[in-house]
Amino acid sequence: MKVSRVFGYQVLDSRGRPTVAASVSLTDGSTHTARVPSGASTGAHEAKEIRDAGGKFAEKFYSGLSVQQAVTNINEVIAPALIEEQIDLESIDNQIVELDPTEDHSRLGANATLAVSLAGAIAAAHSQNRSLARFFSPEGPLTIPMPMVNILSGGAHANRTLDIQDVLIVPTGAASFTQALSWIVAVREMAAKLGKESGYITNLIADEGGIAIAFDSAEKACDFVVNAIEKTGLKVGNEVSLALDIASTQFFDGKNYNLANLNKSYSQSEFIHYINNLVSSQPIISIEDPFAEDDWSSWQEFMNIAPKNLQILGDDLLTTNLNRLNRAIAEKSANSILIKANQNGLVSATLNVLKQARANNFNTVVSARSGENEDSWLADLATGWNAGQIKVGSTHGSERNSKWNRLLELEVIENTRFINPFN
Ligand code: PGA
Ligand code: ZN
């Protein structure tokens, strides 16, 4: 089966900002579309999306965030190279690399390259009469990933009502994904109820569908979520644990970590101890970006003193980039990696990062972005790639629930298993 048409166009994401969609049509008459996500607490080392600020495509509205240049790059540069070619993910990605050999995809825009790469993957799966998950994992049971779900939002996603970006929960004791999701919804609704009753709530739905409450410290935010878990009747630790995304790049000034709501500034070594006390005194099983994206030495020091089983997860540190992952493996800077396709810019290269991580005993958490859309390919990637974990934000908003709903579907229609990756 061959590619008959490739086209890009501009659509809106969950925050009302423009994003790139790409469609790949095949000679059997089918068309396959993917829309790309976008971050807010974006790491400096991510692949570069192209937005039109100031350029010749800049639109009067959309505050310089339109993506017409990226769309034009799809239609005028990428499409002509792919039409009439056999549909195949590797060759699509190789063609894109030939057209844009920059490591950060800055020539064509990572939003353009990823949109075509994803639509190409979906089309390639169709050409084999498989779902996207089965395209990557044709045989045997599929492992449905353990969800890591946002309950409280802070940082860049919620007007900095909290210094840290997320307090999340992980339902490690659930026997199935279906049960896991029901627990998560129960905790989120309990947290919303408790927040309202106590007069804490400042914003019911933050960027990722979480609840924004102005706690001055991370400890108080954790205590609040622990209380919400207990009030639902679930057991903290055995059934549901906490995870944090500190997103500390956002408040590191090159020397100090500045917690504005707490009104405290920590040196690097003080912050290592602050984080270690936090994870030791709360039922936290995973901590993401406890240190800034280029503060490699703090990561390394923390790895030496952190509790044994703690998942130490690099997002801004690693940016789904093979070179940065290899450095983290060599220097023992982290033991887990967040996998975000749009930090990388191509599907097959993202999968290579995930494979390298797993080969080196890193946990892998496939993740959405704060700016999302109704697509559900993320659920198929996390499942087909056997990632073990997935992070999508909360359970409010169809741009989040499309992923959860796809996992519910996979659990029902496929031969699957659901494994606690923290065991
Ligand atoms: P972002 O945040 O998508 O806004 O970058 C998500 C995260 O930090 O994990
Ligand atoms: Zn993060």
Which among 14, 111, 165 is the best mutation to test ligand 1's pocket, defined by most ligand atoms within 8 Å of the CB?
Answer: 165
Ligand 1 neighbourhood includes 319 CB (under 6 angstroms)? no
Architecture of the structural domain at 3-129: 2-Layer Sandwich (3.30)
User: What are the extents of the domains in the chain?
Assistant: 3-129, 142-418
Phi first, then psi: what are they for 244, rounded to 5°? -125, 145
Reading the block at residue 54, the tokens are: 């100031």
Q: What is the pLDDT of residues 349-395, one digit of tens each?
A: 999 999 999 999 999 999 999 999 999 999 999 999 999 999 999 99
Q: How confident is the model at residue 324 (pLDDT cuts 50, 70, 90)?
A: very high
CB atoms within 10 A of CB 378: 27
Ligand 1 neighbourhood includes 42 CB (under 6 angstroms)? yes
Say if 3-129 and 142-418 have the same CATH topology: no
Ligand 1 neighbourhood includes 43 CB (under 6 angstroms)? no
Q: Which residues are catalytic?
A: 208, 340
Architecture of the structural domain at 142-418: Alpha-Beta Barrel (3.20)
Ligand 1 atom with the shortest distance to the CA of 368: 3
Ligand 1 neighbourhood includes 41 CB (under 6 angstroms)? yes
Ligand 1 atom with the shortest distance to the CA of 369: 3
The answer to whether 109 and 69 are in contact (CB under 8 A) is yes
Ligand 1 neighbourhood includes 247 CB (under 6 angstroms)? yes
Q: How confident is the model at residue 249 (pLDDT cuts 50, 70, 90)?
A: very high
CA dihedral for 369, 373, 374, 378, sign (positive or negative): negative
> How high is the pLDDT of residue 57?
84
Which among 369, 391, 400 is the best mutation to test ligand 1's pocket, defined by most ligand atoms within 8 Å of the CB?
Answer: 369
Ligand 1 neighbourhood includes 40 CB (under 6 angstroms)? yes
Distance 397 CA to ligand 2 centre (A): 19
Ligand 1 atom with the shortest distance to the CA of 338: 9
> How high is the pLDDT of residue 202?
67
Nearest to 78 by CA among 399, 310, 346: 346
Is the predicted pLDDT of residue 266 greater than 70, yes or no? yes
Cα distances (Å, whole numbers) of residue 407 to 53, 62, 343, 372, 390: 37, 33, 23, 17, 10
Q: How confident is the model at residue 203 (pLDDT cuts 50, 70, 90)?
A: low
DSSP letter string, 104-154: T-TTT-HHHHHHHHHHHHHHHHHHTT--HHHHH--SS-EEEPEEEEEEEE-
Ligand nearest to the CA of 37: 1
Ligand nearest to the CA of 13: 1
> How high is the pLDDT of residue 199?
82
> How high is the pLDDT of residue 182?
98
- The pTM of this model reads 0.98
Determine the Cα–Cα distance for residues 245 and 347; give it in Å rounded to an integer: 24
- Counting residues of the chain whose pLDDT is more than 70, the rounded percentage is 99
Nearest to 194 by CA among 209, 174, 215: 215
Arithmetic mean of pLDDT over the chain = 96
Chain centre to alpha carbon of residue 385: 15
Determine the Cα–Cα distance for residues 194 and 142; give it in Å rounded to an integer: 37
Ligand 1 atom with the shortest distance to the CA of 316: 8
Nearest to 149 by CA among 314, 341, 353, 286: 286
Nearest to 133 by CA among 413, 401, 320, 421: 413
Is the predicted pLDDT of residue 197 greater than 80, yes or no? yes
- Counting residues of the chain whose pLDDT is more than 90, the rounded percentage is 93
- Please, which residues have CB within 8 angstroms of residue 126's CB and are 6 or more apart in sequence? 26, 30, 32
C-alpha torsion angle, residues 207, 208, 210, 211 (rounded to 10):
0
Q: What is the pLDDT of residues 390-403, one digit of tens each?
A: 999 999 999 999 99
Which residue, by CA, sits nearest to atom 6 of ligand 1? Answer: 369
SS3 (DSSP) at 329: helix
Determine the Cα–Cα distance for residues 142 and 104; give it in Å rounded to an integer: 32
SS3 (DSSP) at 310: coil
CB atoms within 10 A of CB 155: 25
Distance 168 CA to ligand 2 centre (A): 11
The answer to whether 244 and 167 are in contact (CB under 8 A) is yes
Ligand 1 neighbourhood includes 370 CB (under 6 angstroms)? yes
Q: What is the pLDDT of residues 83-108, one digit of tens each?
A: 999 999 999 999 999 999 999 999 99
Q: How confident is the model at residue 230 (pLDDT cuts 50, 70, 90)?
A: very high
Ligand 1 neighbourhood includes 245 CB (under 6 angstroms)? yes
CB atoms within 10 A of CB 88: 16
Amino acid present at 153: S
Is the predicted pLDDT of residue 204 greater than 90, yes or no? no
Q: What is the pLDDT of residues 33-87, one digit of tens each?
A: 999 999 998 999 999 999 998 878 887 789 999 999 999 999 999 999 999 999 9
Ligand 1 atom with the shortest distance to the CA of 40: 4
> How high is the pLDDT of residue 245?
98
Classify residue 163 by its DSSP letter.
S
Residues 257-281, mean pLDDT to the nearest whole number: 97
Ligand nearest to the CA of 208: 1
